[in-house]
Structure 1
Amino acid sequence: MDIDDLLQELDDNKVPGGTRDINDLTQSWIAERTAPEILPFQTALLERLMERIRQQIEFVETQTGNLDPKTNFCLILIQTELERVKFLVRSYLRARIHKIDKYSIYILTTPSIRGRLSPPELSYLKSHLGLLNSHFLASFLRRFPEQLRRLDDKAGGISMVEEPDLDSAVFCKVVKDIEDNIARIPGTDAEFRLTKGDVYVVRYSAVREFVLRGEVELI
């Protein structure tokens, strides 16, 4: 461990837990908006933040009506921070719902991807697909032959299932030392070395596993 690692560790230890959670949520939101596929749901992080939001709302409600100017000023600061955190939570969830809507059949039929959803998201996905299927059936699919009504049809070598483009370009930063730090671009002989602190513009598929392990962050 060199001096930079020691300084980074000291900086991380100085960051309060609440601030660290907000920073992590911000990064998760950015990553979710940037990644072409849906990423694992941050269950523990969201649970901590939602509990903190609940506690802060209760505090604001109990202190509302206090005539002390200092208390009122603190309440304004707390409410402002609450709105910021709620905005991040909503934006994070909306980014995920957008992908669930767009790649619903792909997610549902791919166990490894389906496992990245939270229970409410999985319930939403199934309801969304059910409504979509009913709407299409009532609108026009009922006029088609039975064999042409499937939304996941792959006849003729052409799939109707929309999948994320894992070869789309992303900006990313290496945030950890990686033992096996050679990234390879699928389908080619190209490879490159990932160095901590460096920023790259590269195909998502080349850094996908590093992103999922938390060694590389999307920016």
Structure 2
Amino acid sequence: MDADISDILASVSRPSVPQSTLDLQALTRAWVNERTSPELLPYPAELVDRVMDRVKKQIETIEDMTATMDAKSNFTLVILQTELERFKFLVRSFVRSRIAKVHQTPLLLFSLHALKKTPQKIDKYPHHYRALALEQQAEPTVQPVLSHVEQQYLQQHQSILAGHIHSAFLSSFPSQLQKLDDTAGGISMVDKPDEDGAVFCRVLRDAGEAEIHSEEGTSEVELKRGDVWILRWSAVRDAVVRGDVELL
């Protein structure tokens, strides 16, 4: 009897949610995650493409409605313009957050492509970037850290920055001291994100266990749906990338 009831309940379809609403929720979540995570997260190419297509269509619709100047459509026009500005704000702020992280760790991101050529140096990269590079080696369809446009921006930014530093003072140094990524003496000149920084997070789906480090030692907590935690970024990073946990 219980099985029959379960089958009946499973067969009842949930109310369909418009794709635009789902995209808005996903974009908002990606925006908050990007603003609060210490590391640059994988670029959601499909989501951004859908949002930008919707923005273009919305602009065309608004232009058509503005051209007709129909008094009855004024209120509808205001709603469409408000929705358009909301999407544009989220996209702009999302991109700015990512560019800010590119500026914080340009050398690290610039040398990320070298993992495919020199896998023996993989340990020098943070866990998140390391895992993504290895996944892309085995599965090219895995979301990259940077979009194509961001890669171009990073290359131009790093080229200009390195050229300025070299011409300003680095050229007067001995050749062995002109490296920008030197690791002599066990100290790296390459800035890295703080993997142990604290983040506030909410569990969207049961995500297994996470480690907690304290003065008493290391313990584990169960990440259950609906829980809100403050944890080290390294403890929830993989769950955030999977979409099981969102940052606050």
Q: Under a length normalisation based on structure 1, what TM-score does the superposition of the two structures give?
A: 0.89
Amino acid at match of 2:68: N
Once the two structures are superposed, the pairs formed by residues 173-212 of structure 1 within 5 Å of their partners are 173-178=202-207, 181-185=208-212, 189-212=218-241
Q: Confirm or deny that 1:146 pairs with 2:175.
A: yes
Contact in 2 for aligned 1:186/1:206 (Cα 8 Å): no
Q: Confirm or deny that 1:44 pairs with 2:46.
A: yes
- The unaligned stretches of length 5 or more in structure 2 are 1-5, 114-128, 134-143
Q: Distance in 1 between matches of 2:164 and 2:78?
A: 46
Q: CA deviation at 1:23?
A: 1.2
- Higher mean alpha-carbon deviation, 38-47 vs 112-121, is at 112-121
Q: Distance in 2 between matches of 1:168 and 1:110?
A: 22
Q: Confirm or deny that 1:161 pairs with 2:194.
A: no
Change (3 A) 1:133 1:141: same
Determine helix, strand or coil for the equivalent of 1:170. strand
Q: CA deviation at 1:200?
A: 0.2
Q: Distance in 2 between matches of 1:135 and 1:208?
A: 35
- Higher mean alpha-carbon deviation, 66-75 vs 149-158, is at 66-75
Change (3 A) 1:137 1:186: farther
Q: Confirm or deny that 1:91 pairs with 2:120.
A: no
Q: Distance in 2 between matches of 1:118 and 1:65?
A: 36
Q: Distance in 2 between matches of 1:213 and 1:23?
A: 16
Percent identity for Structure 1 against Structure 2: 45
- Higher mean alpha-carbon deviation, 106-115 vs 163-172, is at 106-115
Determine helix, strand or coil for the equivalent of 2:68. coil
Amino acid at match of 2:211: R
Per-residue CA deviation, residues 52-104 of structure 1 (Å, 9 max, x unaligned), is 11111111112223232221221121112111110100000000000011111
Once the two structures are superposed, the pairs formed by residues 98-117 of structure 1 within 5 Å of their partners are 98-111=100-113, 112=129, 115-117=144-146
Determine helix, strand or coil for the equivalent of 1:161. coil
Amino acid at match of 1:21: D
Determine helix, strand or coil for the equivalent of 1:30. helix
Task: State the partner residue of 2:151.
Answer: 122
Q: Under a length normalisation based on structure 2, what TM-score does the superposition of the two structures give?
A: 0.79
- Higher mean alpha-carbon deviation, 126-135 vs 64-73, is at 64-73
Q: Distance in 2 between matches of 1:23 and 1:211?
A: 15
Per-residue CA deviation, residues 18-51 of structure 1 (Å, 9 max, x unaligned), is 0111111111000001100000111111110100
Amino acid at match of 1:108: F
Task: State the partner residue of 2:163.
Answer: 134
* Aligned mate of 1:61, from 53, 60, 63: 63
Contact in 2 for aligned 1:106/1:163 (Cα 8 Å): yes
Count of aligned pairs: 209
Change (3 A) 1:117 1:203: same
